[in-house]
């Protein structure tokens, strides 16, 4: 029996050899499951996020014991008429040659998964008699998706060719196209399973409910562990069974305590177990935690035993999984992903508006859309209508040849808009000069903004509107993002802040973008701002995942960015003591940072942004943002040395371009050759002043000694 001891909570946050340990006498792989290591990495950088996870786990454990999530028709685990909890599943095969995983292997894996969860697996005959009464049969079943999130036909298998030789369980790279993987399908409607090559001998890893970002939810499995794979003792398909257990909130049967006997899997009908099993034992096996009786349950799917020896869940493990299903994954029940998509003879689909994006930087602009033929009949003609803020701006007639399920990009007629925020609507009509039989996918809208470029920015966020005119926010995960706060500021009464303390996901990026700036023809560009930041972790914590603030620049209207400024940890914070409360800076806890952006003048127009990458630490504040440009006098730029004004009443300005490095002295002589004034520079500058107001009117000579060169300029004093 496993007791719920508070001390066990520490073990899932420690990456130990018992979590990812070597297998004995296999000659194949040195590790098995990377789930606990992945979880530890997600939580180690944020005590607050860790506390939220632990609190939710404790609440769920109590609810399971009280039977809150138990379904009325599944009280009896042996009831053959139980209602199935059907889960649409999509397999993302991400390999350099994804064709090496066959459809037959995927089907065999799906069959294994369904049999294991239903308790219909033929190898259940190996369950010893003393564990037979504990044999759990779940109502959870899995079906290959038949339609994509866009309603298009699919086999439930997508193959993605990657240049990555392998992925790791520590960074979720396989789950994102931007890092060589494959983006997930809507996790509220699909159980996402990524099949790939995993590094470091890991066979798979999964996400627990409430353990991170939605777009990371799912399971990753080593492709050689599929039925028929090359990992001999681990090619029975049981890795996916094991990892799916984690996805439905099961923990390792030994409690991840490295043999301490104080850990728990939060299930009472699994015997207490010291550590994982790494071969295929036989008969009764006891260990340091269960020394007598029937011994430990090495036959359990949540152990590390060879695939041939993993044959059962217990009844209480099934209760826990089904409870987790209802508590966290119940949206899968309403998914239509396993239903065949409806087909029509004539069906033109507007898939996406590709341009404009969130903002445009040129005006007029030409919208770009993607049209897909969802109909059976070949699409040869189509009318496309555009409207800005519900006012029709024009129509475009497309002709061509588009076969069933083929797509094409169409560039529409240019549209001119006024400054401000707008809504573009695009809709299709008259496919093949007839009526579309499915009008539900004929139109879509997108919000965007246009503001003429500015030459400077001075923003302290005191206005009533946020973001201010010309600014915008890019919040890809629709989670916590930049916001205006009052009562906290370097100057005035307001600033902007991002609440990393309450951010549930690590690694998400949010952009606070400045107005487009026109820097063509200027000589220098500078950005300055006030920043305040703190952490919830000790600033000296080694290997921590910190909040990161960057200033990034784009010369292509936000399609790509280059980082100009990047600070985190000790380089970012203005409050050095760790605080788990929301950080509010004092007047002394602000710092002014400045950046020279003059190298980007040749781009003409630039887009600057503050980019926050959350480490779930604490709040970051920004105030008093100033973008200024400097333009040098054309005469000074052409001559390199200028003395003004002439004539003068006595005050002289001596300027240099570019800034000199070896000025030894500046002198003024009267017409008789007498020196009347002199400046010996203390350091170098491109700007000096001198006063000869007390001398009589006449002609004077300004003499500059610069290295081995002498420069002179005559001026008139009146």
Catalytic residues: 243
Q: How far is Cα 301 from Cα 318, in angstroms, rounded to an integer?
A: 12
Task: State the greatest distance between any 2 C-alpha atoms of the chain, in Å, as a whole number.
Answer: 120
Instruction: Give me the numbers of helices (H) and strands (E) for the chain, helices first please.
Output: 6, 34
Q: How many CB atoms lie within 10 A of CB 164?
A: 17
Measured in whole angstroms, how far is the alpha carbon of residue 489 from the centre of its chain? 28
Beta bridge partners of residue 356, listed in sequence order:
none
Q: How far is Cα 622 from Cα 494, in angstroms, rounded to an integer?
A: 10
Q: How far is Cα 230 from Cα 585, in angstroms, rounded to an integer?
A: 57
Q: How long, in residues, is the chain? A: 718
Beta bridge partners of residue 607, listed in sequence order:
554
Residue 520's SS3 state is coil
Q: How far is CA 521 from CA 233, 376, 457, in A?
A: 69, 56, 17
Q: How many CB atoms lie within 10 A of CB 448?
A: 20
Q: Contacts from 30-33 at CB under 8 Å and sequence distance 24+? A: 30/200, 30/201, 31/200, 31/201, 31/202, 31/203, 32/202, 32/203, 32/204, 32/234, 32/239, 32/242, 32/276, 32/304, 33/202, 33/203, 33/204, 33/205, 33/242, 33/243, 33/246, 33/252, 33/304
Q: How far is Cα 39 from Cα 17, in angstroms, rounded to an integer?
A: 15
Q: Confirm if 510 and 481 have CB atoms less than 8 A apart.
A: yes
The structure tokens 């790939």 sit at: 196
- Which residues, 6 or more positions from 586, have their beta carbon under 8 angstroms from its beta carbon? none
DSSP 540: T
Q: Confirm if 187 and 87 have CB atoms less than 8 A apart.
A: no
Q: How far is CA 442 from CA 346, 369, 386, 394, 414, in A?
A: 12, 12, 12, 17, 21
Burial class (CB in 10 A: 0-12, 13-18, 19+), 53: buried
Dihedral of the alpha carbons of 272, 274, 276, 277, in degrees to the nearest 10: -90
Element holding 245 (H helix, E strand): helix 238-247
Buried b / exposed e along 284-305 (16+ C-beta atoms within 10 A): eeebebbeeeebbbbbbbbbbb
Which of 504, 473, 486, 463 lies closest to 610 in space, CA to CA? 473
Element holding 35 (H helix, E strand): helix 35-44
Element holding 711 (H helix, E strand): strand 709-717
Q: Confirm if 134 and 170 have CB atoms less than 8 A apart.
A: no
Pairing status of strand 517-518 against strand 509-513? unpaired
Q: How far is CA 3 from CA 269, 515, 641, 658, in A?
A: 10, 58, 84, 75
- Which residues, 6 or more positions from 14, have their beta carbon under 8 angstroms from its beta carbon? 40
DSSP labels, 57-81: HHHHHHHHHTTTT--GGGSSTT-TT
Q: Confirm if 620 and 533 have CB atoms less than 8 A apart.
A: yes
């Amino acid at each position: 029996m496993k007791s719920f001891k508070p001390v066990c909570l520490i073990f899932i946050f420690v990456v130990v050899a018992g979590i990812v340990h070597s297998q004995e006498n296999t000659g194949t792989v040195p590790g098995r499951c990377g789930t606990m290591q992945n979880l530890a990495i997600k939580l180690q950088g944020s005590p607050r996020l860790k506390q939220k996870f632990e609190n939710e786990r404790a609440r769920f454990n109590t609810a399971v014991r009280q039977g809150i999530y138990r379904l009325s028709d599944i009280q009896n685990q042996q009831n053959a008429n139980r209602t199935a909890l059907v889960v649409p599943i999509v397999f993302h095969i991400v390999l350099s040659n994804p064709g090496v995983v066959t459809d037959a292997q995927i089907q065999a894996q799906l069959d294994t998964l369904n049999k294991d969860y239903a308790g219909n697996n033929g190898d259940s005959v190996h369950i010893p008699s003393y564990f037979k009464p504990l044999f759990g049969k779940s109502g959870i079943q899995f079906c290959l998706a038949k339609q994509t999130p866009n309603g298009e036909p699919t086999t439930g298998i997508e193959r993605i060719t990657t240049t990555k030789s392998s992925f790791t369980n520590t960074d979720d790279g396989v789950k994102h196209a931007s890092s060589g993987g494959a983006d997930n399908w809507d996790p509220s409607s699909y159980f996402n399973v990524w099949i790939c090559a995993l590094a470091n001998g890991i066979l798979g890893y999964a996400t627990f409910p409430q353990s991170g970002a939605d777009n990371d939810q799912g399971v990753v499995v080593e492709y050689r562990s599929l039925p028929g794979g090359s990992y001999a003792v681990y090619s029975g398909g049981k890795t996916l069974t094991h990892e799916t257990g984690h996805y439905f909130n099961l923990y390792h049967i030994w409690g991840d305590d490295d043999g301490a006997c104080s850990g728990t899997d939060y299930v009472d009908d699994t015997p207490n177990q010291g550590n994982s099993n790494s071969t295929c034992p036989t008969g009764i096996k006891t260990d340091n935690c269960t020394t007598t009786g029937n011994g430990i349950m090495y036959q359990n799917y949540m152990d590390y035993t060879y695939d041939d020896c993993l044959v059962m869940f217990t009844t209480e493990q099934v209760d826990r999984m089904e409870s987790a299903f209802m508590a966290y994954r119940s949206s899968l029940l309403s998914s239509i992903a396993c239903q065949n998509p409806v087909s029509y003879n004539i069906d033109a689909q507007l898939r996406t508006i590709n341009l404009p994006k969130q903002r445009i930087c040129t005006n007029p602009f030409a919208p770009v859309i993607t049209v897909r033929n969802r109909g059976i009949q070949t699409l040869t003609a189509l009318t496309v209508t555009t409207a800005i803020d519900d006012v029709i701006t024009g129509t475009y007639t497309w002709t061509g040849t588009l076969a069933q399920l083929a797509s094409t990009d169409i560039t529409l007629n240019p549209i001119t808009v006024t400054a401000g925020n707008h809504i573009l609507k695009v809709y299709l009509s008259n496919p093949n000069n007839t009526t579309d039989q499915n009008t539900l996918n004929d139109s879509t809208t997108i919000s965007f903004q246009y503001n003429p470029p500015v030459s400077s920015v001075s923003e302290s966020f005191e206005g009533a509107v946020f973001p201010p005119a010309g600014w915008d926010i890019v919040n890809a995960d629709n989670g916590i993002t930049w916001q205006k706060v009052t009562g906290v500021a370097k100057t005035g009464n307001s600033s902007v802040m991002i609440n990393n303390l309450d951010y549930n996901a690590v690694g998400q990026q949010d952009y606070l973008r400045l107005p487009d700036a026109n820097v063509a023809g200027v000589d220098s560009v500078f950005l300055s701002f006030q920043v305040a930041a703190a952490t919830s972790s000790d600033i000296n914590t080694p290997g921590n995942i910190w909040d990161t603030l960057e200033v990034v620049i784009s010369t292509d209207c936000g399609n790509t960015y280059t980082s100009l400024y990047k600070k985190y940890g000790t380089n970012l914070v203005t409050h050095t003591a760790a605080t788990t409360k929301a950080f509010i800076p004092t007047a002394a806890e602000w710092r002014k940072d400045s950046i020279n952006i003059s190298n980007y003048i040749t781009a003409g127009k630039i887009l600057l942004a503050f980019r926050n990458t959350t480490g779930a630490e604490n709040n970051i504040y920004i105030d008093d943002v100033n973008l200024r440009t400097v333009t040098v006098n054309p005469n000074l730029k052409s001559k390199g040395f200028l003395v003004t004004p002439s004539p003068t009443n006595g005050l002289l300005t001596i300027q240099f371009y570019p800034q000199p490095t070896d000025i030894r002295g500046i002198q003024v002589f009267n017409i008789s050759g007498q020196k009347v004034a002199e400046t010996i520079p203390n350091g170098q500058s491109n700007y000096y002043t001198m006063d000869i107001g007390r001398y009589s009117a006449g002609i004077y000579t300004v003499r500059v000694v610069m290295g081995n060169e002498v420069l002179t300029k005559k001026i008139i004093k009146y």
